[in-house]
Amino acid sequence: MRLLHTMLRVSDLDKSIDFYQSLLGMTLHRKMDFPSGRFTLAFLGYGDEKETTALELTYNWDTKSYEMGDAFGHIAIAVDDVYKACETIMAKGGEVVREAGPMQHGSTVLAFVKDPDGYMIELLDIA
């Protein structure tokens, strides 16, 4: 068994794809429209879906926004340098909501950014 993908519902598919590609460096693997169901799926990630987990963005054509639940936490992404990643994301217009630095009660360096729909993305230093 292995984890295949995580799905997020998004309100503006093009804006979300641009965020994950331009700010977080993901590659768009595939995008499929389902006219009879009035939705589009886009799968992005950092490698071949046969070997790595993907992010599935679901765009429901007739839904303009979603309420954030309090059960979902965040998606975590490993980066070589959290400080530099935050600088790059901010320079490209991204929102850093927790500046890079050691986590409270520990030494792991992390930061948090928000995607266009408000989902939290944790950046973790892998160095």
CB distance 64 to 78 below 8 Å: no
**87 included as an active-site residue:** no
Cβ burial, residue 121 (10 Å; 0-12/13-18/19+)? buried
CA dist., res. 96 & res. 94, Å (int): 6
Catalytic residue among 49, 56, 95, 122: 122
Q: How far apart are CA 110 and CA 6, in angstroms?
A: 21
Give the strand order in the sheet containing 39-45. Answer: 5-9, 54-60, 39-45, 27-34
- Which residues are designated catalytic? 122
